[in-house]
Amino acid sequence: MTERVCVGAIAGAFGVQGEVRLKSFCAEPADIATYGPLWTENGGRSFTVRLTRPVAGALGATLSGVATREEAEALKGVTLWVDRAALPSLPDDEFYHADLIGLDVVDTGGKLLGRVRAIYDHGAGDILEITGPHGMMLPFTRAFVPTVDLAARRIVADPPESDEASEGEEG
């Protein structure tokens, strides 16, 4: 488990008074302002966030220590991280993406399929990117991922049949 979790990114300046366009990665976008100070990825700088207004695809926000458009624009692309202890506990069947990245993935027979490299959400649900001997993209649903064991640092997956298995059956 990581000490900090990425909860957002600065998409650029908004307005002329140092406001930023803030992209929230939280399930409830406004929650990004409730976790206390947010840190840059290297931990070199922290910000207190105050949301100002909704912006197309993002949130308008002011950050402590950012007073001009130029200062806001200089932060474009910076990711924002929160101390893990500030995040709420999740129910048993929900997970923070940061907890899943790096877990080994085995099939239901125990064969290593690979390791979770990333998690994507393109609107239809989360997809696990698994790299390794049997790399694949796998929907993160109970049907394909029946078990997540954070204590053992592994995921049990039941991937669909591959095309390789059916190639030998063609005539």
Tens-digit pLDDT string for the chain (171 aa) = 458 889 999 999 998 889 999 999 888 899 999 998 999 999 999 999 999 998 888 999 999 999 999 999 999 999 999 998 888 888 888 888 888 999 999 999 999 999 999 988 777 788 999 998 778 999 999 999 999 998 899 999 998 875 544 444 444
CATH of 97-159, one of 2.30.30.240, 3.30.70.2740, 3.40.50.300, 2.70.180.20: 2.30.30.240
| Comma-separated ranges of CATH 2.40.30.60 domains in the chain | 4-86
Res 92: pLDDT: 80
What is the DSSP secondary structure assignment for residue 162, as one 8-state letter? P
| Comma-separated ranges of CATH 2.30.30.240 domains in the chain | 97-159
pTM for the model stands at 0.71
Rounded to whole angstroms, what are the CA distances from 9 to 13, 80, 126? 12, 5, 19
Which residues lie below 8 Å from residue 47, measured CB to CB, with a gap of 6+?
Answer: 37, 38, 39, 63, 64, 65, 66, 80
Q: How far apart are CA 57 and CA 151, in angstroms?
A: 36
**For residue 167, what are its two tokens?**
């190639």
**For residue 11, what are its two tokens?**
């998409």
Q: How far apart are CA 5 and CA 15, in angstroms?
A: 28
The identity of residue 68, as a single letter, is T
| Sequence-distant contacts of 106-115: CB under 8 A, at least 24 apart | 106/154, 106/155, 106/156, 106/157, 107/156, 107/157, 107/158, 107/159, 108/146, 108/156, 108/157, 108/158, 113/157, 113/159
In the CATH hierarchy, which fold is given to the domain comprising 4-86?
Elongation Factor Tu (Ef-tu); domain 3 (2.40.30)
The identity of residue 12, as a single letter, is G
Q: How far apart are CA 107 and CA 114, in angstroms?
A: 10
